[in-house]
Structures are given as structure tokens and as C-alpha cells.
Structure 1
Amino acid sequence: MKQFFTYTLTLALALALVSTEANAQQFSKRKQYNSVGISLNAMNYFGDIVPKASIPSLRFAATRPNIGLSATHRFTPRISARVALSYGRITGDDNKAADRNDGDARFRYHRNMNFRNDIFEGSAVGIFDLIANRNNYIKRPDFVPYVFAGVAVFHHNPKGYAGELKGVENAAGVSSGTYYNLQPLQTEGVSYSLTQVSIPFGGGVRYKLNKSFDIGLEIGWRKTFTDYLDDVSGVYLSDAQLGTSGPKAFFGKGITRNDDGTYVNFNSAGEMRGKGNEDDWYIVTGLHLNYILAPRIKSPKFR
């Protein structure tokens, strides 16, 4: 995945530089134009609370909606810049993702962690079209594949759910059926930031509906620099660090399920709680509808 990201970004930047140099003089300002858009997407994540302990593993049933607004400016026949705002949610649940009969997943089944995380993102990306439009917006190509890469800032807030656990939640000092903010609890003794930077990159295809509208399908990965989108990364803390009751103890220790269906507090200080060696990712896939703002064409002045 890291190599794929590096190669994609390098290729996009190289092609963009070559294209800019070759076409900047051929694309007049009269052919440049702006567009605004809305996107309806599906959102997933790669992290610690997934079926397999690997980046490509995700649980499709954990897919949640994402919506976005964007503005795009066409600079050259192939290059545009887009700024966007979006909101979406990612989720994970060992109870649903991990298979207790799978030797590799059994640890996560007994760990029994869960989270949901609402993500607000602002991004700026460069878009490189694989098919050039050397004319104005009216004569743009009907079908255009493209790639993109850029930078994003996002705010997130992982929360854990204290579900119906046969009375265990009452003994642990939490309210059944309640979501708790996990970052303030420092369940692993780490104070991570809720505002982070990511690298968005990906590709898509765009289709011309009519003179003013384009519709497209796009998939974009977000390479983050935090392993705490799910509040799980390192090792379990001791009872002295977590306490014996309250939300910090409840979510920090976890509630493990025995094979007979009963639940008990789980805490082995210093033992693995998460992978701890890879940052979390999230992925956004969906439909984009763009409306082109027809540029004003100034009439020549005669004397």
C-alpha cells in the first residue's frame, strides 16, 4: 500500500509538471472555467478493528455514508485544482468483524473493542485528466478518467459504545447503551490530537451529462499519520494506570467474551492491544455531481 501510494503520487506529479509546461501557453484564460459539486459517498477504514490484521482488510458491513461539497478550477487542458469539505463516519466492532474460530482473529474477538468516529475533512488536491480538453467547457470530452493527489486536514473524535453486557457495565461504572469520548480517557496513556493531516490520493472517471453537468465515480484513499482513529494502537495499561471502574477502566481493559457467552474484564498489562506498527487509513468512494459555472466572455471593445 505504501509503495502504491508513492508510485501514484510520483506519477501524478510528474505528469502534471510535463503537462503544465507543454500546454500552459495553449490554454487561454477564456477557456478556463470553474465548477461546484456535491458528492455522496461510502466511507470505510483500515486499522486495528477489522477482520484481519492487515491494511487491505476491511468490513464492508461497517460502511457508513459521507457527503461532500467542492469547488474546482480548470487551469490547463489536463490540470484542475479542487478544494472540498466533507463529513462522514467510520466504524469498527470486534464483535462483528472478528471470527473466534479463526486462530489469527481470535485475539481480536476476545478483545471485543468497538468504536465510531465522525470525520470532518477539508482538502485541496490537484487533478490530472488522462484525456485533455483543449477547447472550452462546452466542447469538453464526454468521458474522462483522472487521478488526483493533495493534502487534507481533518477533525475526528473516536467514541466507544457501552452495550448490553449482562450487567458487567454496571459493575464497571458506565451507563449501558451510551457512547463515550475515548480520546480524553487516554486508554493507552497516549494523548493524541483530534486534528490531523492526511494525504488524499486516488482516481476516478467523469462523464459529461450535458453542457452544464458532469457526473463521476471516484475512489480516494487517505493516508493519515495517526494510529488512533479507532483509539487502539499499543498495549494494555495496568490497573494502577486505568483504575478499577469508570469509562477509562471499561474501555481500556476491554470486556472479553468467554466461550460460554459470559463476559469478564480483560486486562493483561503490557500485552498487545493493537498492531502498533501502522497508521490508520480511511477510504472514500462515491458519486460526484458537478455544475459548471459558465465563464463570462467579454466582448471586444471597438474604437
Structure 2
Amino acid sequence: MKQIFTHTLGLLLAVTLVATEANAQQFTKRKQYNSVGITLNAMNYFGDIVPKASFASFRVAASRPNVGINVTRRFAPRLSGRASFAYGRITAEDSKAADQNDPDARYRYNRNMNVRNDIFELSAVGVFDLIENRNNYLKRPDFVPYVFAGVAVFHHAPKGLVEGGNTGGLTTGSYIDLQPLQTEGVSYSKTQISIPFGGGVRYKLNKSFDIGLEIGWRKTFTDYLDDVSKNYIERSRLVTPAAQYFGHDNVRNTTDFTNFNEPGQMRGKGNEKDWYIVTGLTLNYILAPRVKSPKFR
């Protein structure tokens, strides 16, 4: 997957640079324009709390809303720049994602982890249209497929639900902020960088509005979107009731595994970073550029 991502991003950037150089001289400023838009999406994630231990595995029922706003600038016949701000939520539960009758998933079912994570994202991407428009916005194509890639900064805050059992006095049904607990003895930042990339199609509704369908992946550089990464640690290092509950005591009572949550035992895969994915609709309004009349003396 890493090789596919690297090759796709490299190809996109190379094509974008070539297209920009070739078209910049032929696309006058009078044909450039701006647009503003809103997005309504579904949000999912790939990480340690999924049905299968694979990148393509996610639980559709765990999808949550994502909303955003964006500003786009058309620079060339195929190239635009887009800045966006979005908010969304990802959720995951071992009890629902992992099948206890599946030998490959029983471990995750018994681990019994859950997470809810609210994510705020600010991104800047380059958008490359597969169909060019050398005219002004009024004569833009009716249907345009496109690809995009860029960079984003996001703030996340994973929280866990107290479900019962040996809660150590915690209120059942409450959500606890997981990052300060250091459930694996690791301190990680809530502010992170990601690489957004993907593609979509855009349809011209009328002279002022476009509607689009888009799917975008976010390659992150953290394995803690779900607060699960590596191994269990000594219970004595978990100094609060909340840390002891989420870092040690919330496993299921089972005879399937010996010393299931003992120090050094596997808690997460630990060899892959987490991803999140955004899929949905965009409605863009084109800000008609002002046309300056020539001055005569």
C-alpha cells in the first residue's frame, strides 16, 4: 500500500507540474476564477479496531458525518488550488467490528477496545482536472473527473466509552479522554500532519453552481487515532482508574488466551499507521470574476 501511495502521489505531482508549465502561458487571468463550497460526507477509518487486520477493512455501520467548507482558485485549464476546513468523527468498537467466531478476529473481540475521535482538519490541495477548460467559467465542461493531493494538519482527541465490568469507580456510559492516560506508556500529540489524496467527479448544474462526488484518503503519521498501537504495559504504570480500565482491565473474561493483557502481550498491530477516509458530496458556488472594461482617452 505504501508503494501504491508513493507512486500515485509522485505521478500526480509530475503530471501537475508539466500541465501547469504548458498551460500557464495560454490561460489568461481573465479566465481564472474563484469558488466557495460546502461538503457533506461520510467518515471512516483504518486502524487497529477494524473487522480484519488489513488496510481495506472497515465497518460501514461505523460511518459518521463529516462537514466542511472550502475555497478554490482556478489557475490553469486543468489546475486549481483548494483550501478546506472540515470537522468529522470516526468510531470503532471491537465488540461490533470483530467476529468472535472468526479465529483471526477473536483476539480483537476479546481485547474489547472502543474509540470515538473528533477530528478537525485544515488542508491545502492541488486539483488536477482530467478534462481541461481553456475558456471562462461560463463555458466550463458539464462533467469533469479529477484527482487531488496535498497536505493537511488535523487535531484529534480519541475518547473511550466506559462500558461496565471492573470500572474502578468510573461512571458507566461516560467517555474518557484517552491521550492523557498513556495507556501504552507513550505520549503522542493531538495535532498531526496528514497527506490527503483521492479523486472525484464534478457536474455543472448551471452557470454558477457545480456539484461533485469525491473520495479522499488521509495518510497519517500516527498510530494513535484509536489509542491502540503496540503492547500492554505493567498495570502499576497506569496510575489512574481510567488508565487502568482502558489500558488493562476492559478485556473480556475469556479462556481463549492465557495472560491476555499481561505486560508485553500484543495490544495492537504496531506496524502500520492509521488512516481516515472521507467520502461525500460537494456543492460549489462560482464567484463570477469582474470584467474590467478598457479605458479610452
**TM-score, scaled to structure 2:** 0.96
SS at the partner of 2:5?
A: helix
1:173 to 158, 169, 176: 169
- Structure 1 residue aligned with 2:291: 297
Root mean square deviation, CA, Å: 1.3
Spell out, residue by residue over 1:75-107, the C-alpha distance to the aligned partner (whole angstroms, 9 max, x if none). Answer: 000000000000000011001001111111011
Please give the residue correspondences for 1:265-280 in structure 2 after superposition, counting only pairs within 5 Å: 267-280=261-274
Distance 1:256 1:23 in 2: 59
Distance 1:239 1:259 in 2: 19
Tell me what 1:42 maps to.
42
2:208 equivalent in structure 1: 212
Any idea what SS the aligned residue of 2:117 has?
strand
1:255 alignment counterpart:
250
Shift of 1:168: 2.7
- What's 1:148 paired with? 148
Please give the per-residue CA displacement for 1:155-184, whole angstroms capped at 9, x wherever unaligned: 000000002x2x532xx2211110000000
User: In structure 2, how many angstroms separate the alpha carbons of the residues matched to 1:255 and 1:29?
Assistant: 61
Q: In the aligned structure 2, how far is the partner of 1:292 from the partner of 1:105?
A: 49
User: Do structure 1's residue 238 and structure 2's residue 219 form an aligned pair?
Assistant: no
TM-score (norm 1): 0.95
Q: How does 1:97-116 map to 2 (within 5 A)?
A: 97-116=97-116
Aligned residues: 294
What is the distance in 1 between the residues matched to 2:179 and 2:209?
Answer: 42
Contact 2:36 2:71 in 1 (8 A): yes
Aligned pair in 2 of structure 1 residues 83, 107: CA closer, same or farther (>3 Å)?
A: same
- What amino acid maps onto 1:94 in structure 2? D
Percent identical residues:
73
- The answer (yes or no) to whether the contact 1:33–1:74 under 8 Å persists in 2 is yes
Unaligned runs of 5+ in 1: none
- Look up the equivalent residue of 1:270 and give its one-letter code: G
Per-residue deviation at 1:11?
1.5
Following superposition, the deviation at residue 73 of structure 1 comes to 0.1
Structural mapping, 1:41-80, within 5 Å? 41-80=41-80
Name the structure 2 match of 1:224.
220
Task: String of CA shifts for 1:9-34, please: whole Å, max 9, x gaps.
Answer: 11211111111111111100000000
Alpha-carbon distance in structure 1 between the residues aligned to 2:123 and 2:114: 28
The answer (yes or no) to whether the contact 1:131–1:144 under 8 Å persists in 2 is yes
Structure 1 distance, partners of 2:260, 2:230, is: 15
Counterpart AA for 1:168: N
User: Does the CA-based 8 Å contact 1:160-1:182 persist in structure 2?
Assistant: yes
Q: Which amino acid aligns with 1:279?
A: K
- Give the Å deviation of 1:254: 4.0
